[in-house]
Structure 1
Amino acid sequence: MLMEKTKKRQHYESIEKTCNQTILSLASTLRNSVIKENDTETIINQLRDGSANKIASWNQLKILAITRPAVIIYSYTMLATFLRIQLSLISGHMYKDAQNVDNGIIGNEVQAKYMALSSYFIYESIKILSNLIQSKVVMVTQSLSLTKQLTLRDLEQIYWALTSCISADSSTDPVKNLTYYMLQQENTENNDTSIYTKLINQMLDVSESGEVQDLMQKNVRSGFVLLMDHISVYFNDSSKNDNEHDVRDTSHSEESNVKNSTSTYLQEATNNGSSEFVNINKTTMALAKIIPIVNGQVPDNPTPNDIAADWLQHLILNNELKILGANIYEAFSCSQS
Structure 2
Amino acid sequence: MWSAMKDFLYRHRRKFLTTGIVLGSGIFIIKLIQYKLREFQERQAKEISERFKRMQHFESTERTCNQTIFGLSSTVSEKVLRNLNTTAILEKLRSNPDNKFELWEELKILAFTKIVTMVYASSMLAVTLKTQIHLLGGYLYKDTVDQDDKKVSTDIQSTYLSMIQYFMGNGMDKLIDLIRKNVSIVMQRYSLKQQLTLADAETLFWSIQMTLNNDEFNPTKCITKFTLPQDGLRGDIIGKMYDETLDVLESAEAADVCLSNVTNGFSLIVDKLAEYYAEAEQGQTSASTTKSSLNVDNLSNINHIKISVAKLIPIVNGLTSKPLGSLSTSPNGSNGMNGFDHRHIDMISSLVSRFMQSEKLKTLGVNVYETFCQ
TM class, shorter-length:
0.7 to 0.9
Q: Which of 145, 157, 165 matches 1:119?
A: 165
SS at match of 2:304: coil
Distance 1:305 1:18 in 2: 25
Q: Is the 8 A contact 1:150 1:285 kept in 2?
A: yes
Deviation string, structure 1 residues 280-322 (Cα, Å, up to 9, x no partner): 1110011111111111111247x88533221111112222211
Distance 2:187 2:92 in 1: 22
Amino acid at match of 2:220: V
Moved over 4 A (4+): 101-104, 266-276
Distance 1:202 1:109 in 2: 18
Amino acid at match of 2:360: E
1:4 CA drift (Å): 1.4
Q: Is it true that 1:316 corresponds to 2:356 in the alignment?
A: yes
Give the stretch that moved more between structures: 95-104 or 309-318.
95-104
Seen in structure 2, the aligned counterparts of structure 1 residues 277 and 111 have a Cα distance that, compared at 3 Å, is closer
Distance 1:151 1:41 in 2: 27
Match of 1:140 in 2: 186
1:135 CA drift (Å): 1.0
Q: Is it true that 1:79 corresponds to 2:121 in the alignment?
A: no
Distance 1:274 1:166 in 2: 34
Match of 1:229 in 2: 271
Q: Is the 8 A contact 2:131 2:249 kept in 1?
A: yes
Give the stretch that moved more between structures: 46-55 or 157-166.
46-55
Amino acid at match of 2:247: D
SS at match of 1:147: coil
Q: Is the 8 A contact 1:237 1:271 kept in 2?
A: no
Deviation string, structure 1 residues 22-81 (Cα, Å, up to 9, x no partner): 001100111000111111111111111345721011000001111111111100000000
Distance 1:273 1:106 in 2: 54
Give the stretch that moved more between structures: 213-222 or 87-96.
213-222
1:272 CA drift (Å): 6.2
Task: Give the number of the structure whose alpha-carbon radius of gyration is greater.
Answer: 2
Q: Which of 101, 104, 108 matches 1:58?
A: 104
TM-score in terms of structure 2 length: 0.77
Q: Which of 346, 352, 355 matches 1:306?
A: 346
Q: Is it true that 1:174 corresponds to 2:225 in the alignment?
A: no
Q: Is it true that 1:185 corresponds to 2:230 in the alignment?
A: yes
Distance 2:98 2:129 in 1: 42
Seen in structure 2, the aligned counterparts of structure 1 residues 271 and 230 have a Cα distance that, compared at 3 Å, is closer
SS at match of 2:219: coil
Q: Is it true that 1:10 corresponds to 2:30 in the alignment?
A: no
Q: Is it true that 1:333 corresponds to 2:365 in the alignment?
A: no
Match of 2:113 in 1: 67
Q: Is it true that 1:205 corresponds to 2:227 in the alignment?
A: no
Q: Is the 8 A contact 1:234 1:270 kept in 2?
A: no
SS at match of 2:72: helix
What percent of counterpart residues are identical? 34
Q: Cα RMSD over matched residues?
A: 2.3
Match of 1:260 in 2: none
Match of 1:195 in 2: 237
Match of 1:261 in 2: none
Match of 1:44 in 2: 90
Seen in structure 2, the aligned counterparts of structure 1 residues 125 and 69 have a Cα distance that, compared at 3 Å, is same
Q: Which of 17, 26, 30 matches 2:72?
A: 26
Distance 2:50 2:231 in 1: 39
Amino acid at match of 1:154: D
1:144 CA drift (Å): 1.8
Unaligned runs of 5+ in 1: 246-265
1:134 CA drift (Å): 1.0
Give the stretch that moved more between structures: 49-58 or 325-334.
49-58
Distance 1:99 1:60 in 2: 58
Distance 2:288 2:185 in 1: 28
Deviation string, structure 1 residues 142-163 (Cα, Å, up to 9, x no partner): 1322111111111111111101
Match of 1:163 in 2: 209
Aligned pairs, how many? 307
Seen in structure 2, the aligned counterparts of structure 1 residues 29 and 147 have a Cα distance that, compared at 3 Å, is same
Q: Is the 8 A contact 1:121 1:183 kept in 2?
A: yes
Match of 2:318 in 1: 296
Q: Is the 8 A contact 1:234 1:269 kept in 2?
A: no
Q: Is the 8 A contact 1:297 1:307 kept in 2?
A: yes
SS at match of 1:39: coil
Distance 1:101 1:52 in 2: 72
